Structure 1
Amino acid sequence: MSTVEDPTQVVMSRLREVPDAYRRFAAGAPEARRVFGIGADLLAQLIDLGLPHQRRGGELRLDAFDLENISTGLRLRSPQAMTMRQWKHALASRRRPGGADCLVTVEWRCPAPGHRDGCDFALSDLFTPVSRIDEKHEPARGSVVLQAEPSDHAIRFGAEFHPVLAAAARLTFYKLPPQLSNDLSFVRRTGLANCRLACQHLLDTAAAAGVNARPAAGLFLGALFPFRHIWIEVEVGGRWVAADPFFLETLRRWGVVDRPDWPADQSPRGILWRLLNASSIDEPFVTHRGCEASVSVSARWVPQAG
């Protein structure tokens, strides 16, 4: 007789794989409820099951990565869950964005308003030589509209890619502290990975299978508010093609996409915009006199002219 695992126990078993040394106990119970949807009763249950925590001055302190992984793993009602529902609608309408252009708006503002000297903003070279459609500059803020160039290859990978697909299917997305984001021994032992760690693991898998692959970094455009993302590219017929089986499988498990519409063995079309030839995208998008400026990024699809 098959048994159904208790989701709470599954979440807690994954959480125990992360050493306490990597935790920062900076979040409180109000944040757990407001941001991650973890109410008082569930929080008490999790603490009884061994959720790492501290008490300072009588206040409960928790790790934000733990809270986010619990919220995602238990599919709790939270702002994050609302964002995923927005992804679902956006991706359903953008399954094939042919005949439309993607315009990305980067807006910034001064990180220290009120200083005596004038502001001096600089847009990252990551966006060079991307076409600029519109720019606005004000004393303490500004914006630029960029013509995005998302990957749009109609490629389904062959049998040689199957080891990479199998490796991606064995992984579980997990929000990791920075100290574990490059630890290949951790992912091999636990099967838990964020996009950065999964990319490294799948590159190793591809190399072992004789598949020519490289890292890619840029923006995920399948949402109103794009975010930084890392994936792999595979050489097919002399050209580099985006492949992201780990993220597509993760979105399927979260109920955001359906496999027939977004198969993991196919290059995702119109949602990944490569910005640089490296496996990292940590550089600030906009700087203000050498310091990172406050930035927001949004995207919209518009019909092509003519």
Structure 2
Amino acid sequence: MARQPGAVMTAAGLCRGLDTLYAVPPEHRLDDVDRASARQVLGCDDHTLSTLLDRGLPASGDPGEERFDSRDLFNLALYSGTGTTVPEQAFAYSLRWMRSSTEELLAPRASRFALRIACAADTCGPRPTSTLALPRPERCGGAVRDLTVEDADGTAGPSGDPGDTVTRTASQLAVTATVHTRGELAELRSPELRAIAAEFAAMDLRWVKLPEALQNDVDLVTTHGVASCDSASRYLAQLCRRAGIPAVTRIGWVVGMLDLVHAWVEVEDADGATKVIDPVFALFSATVRDTNPLLRDPAVALRTNRLIPTGLSTGRAVAEHRCADEPTAARLTTKILPAPTRPQEGS
């Protein structure tokens, strides 16, 4: 039976994507996806999956019972160019805001923020502690209202003068707040900074999902042309500091993104102002059609109203849990939704 034209086009795209795939190194592989689930992620038939295996797609197990690393499958699908795979469609949906006008990207925005952590074990171990990063939108001209911290015992209350994190002796911890953000568009004044931003943009990097152990690996940027949010930000910050430009990395959240935790760079420009350079937004926008061109313009610093910063740099975590004085697995839930509009008085 002849294969459908759509299946042939999908196979061709996936094969092209495989040629440029950065495969997860063997020592970091999970092999957490079976063959049937792999076909769903890639949007392909069994014949195409076998072809990909013959062409070198990493897998373990006996023929017909292979298992794959979910990150390999995601990265392969994302850059296949078919437009039909699950990762491509998910990215197109979650990043559709990148098509927004500049005015929409800069306008004041209010979001209801909720971050919760709980021990992943059925029974939490002795001496549990939970730590959460706090939203710090005031770093970017915003504000936080109604900040509340609640622990496993139900003890809740406002936090008066928040630091960068909050820690409680508890198996569970939650932080809620209304977060106000706004964007900013500024020209990069320093010729050296503009040159660095242009050099980075010309590297033609690809954002990929990476194992946690490799997310800060700056060497992957130069040796394989791939980057996570963390490694891209670290690399760009290094370039700035080597040129004598003060720069720090920052982590936080982005409203509406698949992976809510994000990283970017804050630099001190020649005019003395601190400006946000987001090296990964340009990489993301390359996967979505008709995005705002300012997201890819190396001559400007665009901080969108969707950034919610913490006070932490790359390499830190927005959530941590410990039992018996050891780091342990935890369930983390993050929800960032539009804040409800308050009704007008007298309505």
> Could you say which TM-score interval applies, normalised by the shorter chain?
0.7 to 0.9
Among 48, 64, 72, the residue aligned to 2:70: 64
TM-score (norm 2): 0.70
Whole-Å separation in 2 of the counterparts to 1:67 and 1:139: 41
> Per-residue CA shift, 1:220-243, capped at 9, x if unaligned?
12x177700011111133332211
After TM superposition, list the pairs within 5 Å mapping 1:1-306 onto structure 2. 7-15=13-21, 18-55=24-61, 59-75=65-81, 76-93=83-100, 95=102, 96=104, 100-106=108-114, 108=116, 124-127=132-135, 130-132=144-146, 145-150=176-181, 152-158=183-189, 159-160=191-192, 161-170=194-203, 171-221=205-255, 223=256, 227-236=260-269, 237-244=271-278, 246-255=279-288, 258-265=291-298, 266-284=301-319, 292-300=330-338
Structure 1 residue 13, shift from structure 2 partner: 3.5
> Per-residue CA shift, 1:70-117, capped at 9, x if unaligned?
11011453443333233343344574255543213316486579979x
Q: Secondary structure at the match of 1:55?
A: coil
Whole-Å separation in 1 of the counterparts to 2:97 and 2:210: 26
Whole-Å separation in 1 of the counterparts to 2:106 and 2:220: 40
Q: Secondary structure at the match of 1:186?
A: helix
Q: Where do 5+ consecutive residues of structure 1 fail to align? A: 1-5
Q: Tell me which residue corresponds to 1:3.
A: none
The residue type paired with residue 296 of structure 1 is T
Whole-Å separation in 2 of the counterparts to 1:57 and 1:43: 12
- Whose radius of gyration is greater, 1 or 2? 2
Instruction: Please report the RMSD computed on the Cα atoms of aligned residues, expressed in angstroms.
Output: 3.8
Summarize the Cα distance change of 1:232–1:145 in structure 2 as closer, same or farther, 3 Å threshold: same
Structure 1 residue 174, shift from structure 2 partner: 1.9
Whole-Å separation in 2 of the counterparts to 1:302 and 1:125: 24
Q: Where do 5+ consecutive residues of structure 2 fail to align? A: 1-11, 139-143, 155-171
Q: Higher mean Cα deviation, 35-44 or 208-217?
A: 35-44
Whole-Å separation in 2 of the counterparts to 1:19 and 1:225: 24
The count of corresponding residues between Structure 1 and Structure 2 is 297
Q: Secondary structure at the match of 1:132?
A: strand
Summarize the Cα distance change of 1:45–1:89 in structure 2 as closer, same or farther, 3 Å threshold: same
Structure 1 residue 142, shift from structure 2 partner: 8.9
TM-score (norm 1): 0.78
**Identity over aligned pairs, percent:** 19
Structure 1 residue 149, shift from structure 2 partner: 4.4
Whole-Å separation in 2 of the counterparts to 1:19 and 1:110: 31
The residue type paired with residue 154 of structure 1 is L
Structure 1 residue 216, shift from structure 2 partner: 0.7
